[in-house]
Every structure is written in structure tokens, then in C-alpha cells.
Amino acid sequence: MHRITLALLLLSSPALSATLECRVIGVADGDTLTCLTADKRQERIRLRGIDAPERKQSFGERSRQNLSNLAYGKTATIHWTKRDHWKRIIGSVWVDPADCPGCGHTLDAGRAQLANGMAWWYERYAKEQPQEERHAYEFEQAEARARSVGLWRDPQPIPPWDWRRGKR
């Protein structure tokens, strides 16, 4: 019994993480993509720490296209600690930046979505992010908002969590 309890504690520990290497083969929206692993398994990935506009929402398609420009067709490194109730991996997605294709996986796609004003920092789940990532994401959102880029051009952008609840 003690071994099972210890195993469950270790599995739920945010300090433990896994890394996945895969090729991005699909982009569903501004915060969800599909990867193909080396052993030909498809994995759905939900970018940790952001929430992008829904596809039918204002800026939804632009957000999806931006993530596609950042990641589609590229090899990615996913750092993750959990799956959601839809079995998607929740993690950070790292790819080669477009302006430096040989630099390695140095671009955090979630952070780039925030910097381009294509997503909100998902404060509700901030405690699930490493502290450094949490601060970087908060900063990127504040900067995008101050520069009025992307969805921040709208004087009253509707966060996707409100839009999903019918506050359209």
C-alpha cells in the first residue's frame, strides 16, 4: 500500500516531467496541435499556460494560423507533466525559430503566441507552470497588451473562457 501511495505522489509531482520529440502534423487552433512521434503515434498537445481564442471567435483563425506558422511541419520538443481529461498532453512546445532554422529548439511556441497577441496567459493554471515560465508568460501578455498587437487591438477582447460560457 505504501508503494502505491508513493508511486501516486511521484506521478502527480510537478517537479517530474517528461520530454517528447515529435513532428508537428496538425494545428487545431491557437493552443492545440497534433504531433507524430518516432514510433508513428499521434499525440494531441495542448500548450501549457495559454488559452487562445476559439476558431469561431474574433482572432481565432489568426491565432491558429500564427501557431501553424510557428510550428507546423517542424520537429518539436515537448516538455510536459500531465494529460488533461481528453488525454491531451499539457506541455510547452519548443521549435526552431523561423529566422534561425539551425539554432535548435529555442522558441517556446506558447510564449510566442502571447508575444504576438494571439493568446491569453491562462492565469487560472499558472501554478502548473514552472516559475520562470509563469513570469515570462505574464510579461509577454503585458507587453502585447501595451503595444496593442493581435487580439489586444480590440478595445474589449473577450477571453476564450468567457466566450465558451456564452458571453459572446
pLDDT tens profile 158-167: 999 999 998 5
Residue 53 · residue 59 · CB < 8 Å: yes
- Could you give the CA distance from residue 134 to residue 116 in angstroms, rounded to a whole number? 17
Catalytic residue among 43, 54, 133, 140: 54
Q: How many residues does the chain have?
A: 168
Given this model, what pLDDT does residue 17 score? 85
Active site includes 46? yes
- Could you give the CA distance from residue 62 to residue 64 in angstroms, rounded to a whole number? 5
Active site includes 132? no
Beta bridge partners of 29: 32
Of the chain, the percentage scoring pLDDT greater than 90 comes to 85
Block residue for cell numbers 491531451 = 88
User: Which tens digit of pLDDT belongs to each residue from 43-68?
Assistant: 999 999 999 999 999 999 999 999 99
| Stretch 1-28: mean pLDDT | 66
Query: Considering the chain, what is the average pLDDT of its residues?
Result: 91
pLDDT reading at 11 higher than 80: no
- Could you give the CA distance from residue 15 to residue 101 in angstroms, rounded to a whole number? 30
User: Which tens digit of pLDDT belongs to each residue from 14-27?
Assistant: 557 899 999 999 99
User: Which tens digit of pLDDT belongs to each residue from 140-155?
Assistant: 999 999 999 999 999 9
Q: How many CB atoms lie within 10 A of CB 61?
A: 15
Flag the least confident range among 12-26, 33-47, 67-81, 129-143: 12-26
Active site includes 164? no
Classify domain 16-164 at the CATH topology level: OB fold (Dihydrolipoamide Acetyltransferase, E2P) (2.40.50)
Given this model, what pLDDT does residue 91 score? 97
Catalytic residue among 48, 64, 88, 111: 88
Residue bearing the bigger pLDDT, 152 or 8: 152
- Could you give the CA distance from residue 29 to residue 16 in angstroms, rounded to a whole number? 28
Cell of 12: 502527480
Beta bridge partners of 155: none
